Amino acid sequence: MKGSSKKITLAITIGFSFLTLVGCGNSTLHQNAVNTPGTSNSGMKASVKPNLDKTVAYSSAELESLTPEQIAQYRIKHGYCPPFSGENVRRNSLNEKNSILGDLGNYKLTNYKMMDSWEGIVGGKVFQLEVDKSTDGKQYILSSTYGAKAYKPNVFLKPIWITNFTGRYVVFAVPTPANGNPMYALDLTTGALVSSHTNHWVVPMSSAGVGGYGTNITGLTQKYPVFR
C-alpha cells in the first residue's frame, strides 16, 4: 500500500515470504471456551481516528486502525460492522500442500484435517489464516501468519464458527454465535486474540444478530458460506 488513502479495491500481486516462527512449538489451549485468557492488542494503537458517523467507504488505513471498541460502537450505531481492511482476500482449496499448520510447531498434518483456509493482504503484507480439526475430533486449531511472522496457534475444544471479517480482525464464535457462547476477535496483523470473556466489545464486533445468525461470512467483497 502506498498511502493511507489507498482504497480496498486496489489489486496487487501477492507473494509469500519465508516464515520466521514466533512461539514455535507452543499453542494456547482454550478449555471449552471457559475462563479463556484474552490477549490484548495494546501494541496496535489507532493512528487514524475515523468518524463513526461516516456511512460511506473508509480508506484501508482507517479500517486497519479501528480498535475493537470503535468497531463495536460503529456496529451499535449503524446496525452493521465496518468492512475488512484487507484486499485480494480469497478462500483457499483444502489442500494439505497449502497448510501452514506444520510450520507452526510440533503438529503432524496426518493428525489433523484442514477445515478452512484464507489468505489476503492487510497493511501491505500477506496474511494466512487456517482452521484445522484433529482426526479424533477433540481439538480445533486456529493458526495465522502475517508477512514473515508465524503466530502461536490457538487451540479450542469445540468447533470454530467464523462470522465476519472487520477492520484488521477476523471474528468467530465457539462453537456457534448463539446467545451466551463466547466470541473471539483475532488481530490478523499481530496474532493477538481478544475474548468476550475479557473484553465486552468483542460480541458487538460480530455480524451475528441478537437471537439469530446467518450462514454467510460478512465483511468481504465476496460472499462466502460459513461452512464449505
Q: pLDDT confidence of 20, banded at 50, 70, 90? A: very low
Asked if residue 215 has pLDDT above 70, the reply is yes
Q: What is the pLDDT of residue 24?
A: 43
Q: What is the pLDDT of residue 64?
A: 96
Mean pLDDT of the 197-219 span = 87
Q: What is the pLDDT of residue 103?
A: 75
Q: What is the pLDDT of residue 214?
A: 84
Phi, psi dihedrals of residue 204, rounded to the nearest 5°: -75, 0
Q: Residue 60 — left, alpha, or beta (φ > 0 → left; ψ -120 to 50 → alpha)?
A: alpha
Alpha-carbon distance 74 to 39, whole Å? 22
CA distance readout (Å), 171 to 17, 46, 53, 109: 25, 19, 22, 25
Please work out, in degrees rounded to the nearest 5, the angle formed at the alpha carbon of residue 62 by the alpha carbons of 149 and 8.
75
pLDDT digits (tens, 9 = 90+) for 38-85: 333 333 444 456 666 665 668 899 999 999 999 999 999 999 999 999
Q: What is the pLDDT of residue 206?
A: 95
Mean pLDDT of the 96-124 span = 88
- Do you find a cis peptide bond into 50, omega within 30 degrees of 0? no
Asked if residue 164 has pLDDT above 50, the reply is yes
Asked if residue 104 has pLDDT above 50, the reply is yes
Q: pLDDT confidence of 218, banded at 50, 70, 90? A: very high
pTM over 0.75: yes
Q: pLDDT confidence of 110, banded at 50, 70, 90? A: confident
The one-character DSSP state at 26 is: -
Phi, psi dihedrals of residue 28, rounded to the nearest 5°: -105, 120
Alpha-carbon distance 21 to 66, whole Å? 27
Question: Per-residue b/e over 135-169, b at no fewer than 16 CB within 10 Å?
Answer: eeeebbbbbbbbbebbbbbbbbbbbbbbbbbbbbb
Written as nine digits, the cell of 187 is 488481530
